Amino acid sequence: LSSEVQSFLSYKRAEAQFLTKNFEDTNETLKKVTDKKYKDQAVVLKIKSLNELKKYSEAFKFGSSQISRMNQESKVRVLASLIPTVNGSKIWSKADFLLSEAKKQKVSGLELASFLYLAGKASSEQQICKKSIQYFSEALALDSKSTQRNEAQFRLGKCYQKQKKQELAKQQWKEVIDSKDSFWAPMAKSEINLMEDP
């Protein structure tokens, strides 16, 4: 069999192993994918597999080391696959790197919103409210229907509260309450209650 066919078969086998949650086997099989045509896809699958194994640091190191040799489309796919890596690892300092790389690749619209949501959450976790507000505001402007909207607005409310902008905080939390999100709406309601009746 040619290198291309062997790589294709190995990649398909690794996909099946991933789908059946055999993540260690997935990583072993992906080592046999050597043909350029499938190598970039294998990188994304390996990152996903490492994420499932909670080997976030390894996933980030591996993924970011592969970017320089890839074409633009593959780079964007790898960068997107690293979003759950940063979220899972809570290595918040890497969020700005991903956003910066995405912008270099001219990522825009809904795709860019995912990187902005991550950067907003990372800034929020690091108590850098000014950046968090900027990132979340940009993300919401690009993708107001995102499943991440409620978390973004809840976190925006917390940042506005820290900046003593109580009305802006309340406005964000009221929108979260109106969404009836089962997780974020009760938290937003609790924040408003604490604000109104300390």
Give the pLDDT confidence of 47-85 residue by residue, as tens digits. Answer: 999 999 999 999 999 999 999 889 999 999 999 999 999
> How many percent of the chain have pLDDT more than 70?
99
> Residue 139 class from Cβ within 10 Å (0-12 exposed, 13-18 middle, 19+ buried)?
buried
- Confidence check: pLDDT of 197 > 90: no
**Predicted confidence band at 198 (pLDDT cuts at 50, 70, 90)?**
low
> Model-level pTM?
0.90
Cα 99 versus chain centre, distance: 10
Average pLDDT, the chain: 95
Cα dist. 187→43, 98, 122, 181, 195 in Å? 38, 29, 19, 10, 12
pLDDT tens digits, 79-113: 999 999 999 999 999 999 999 999 999 999 999 99
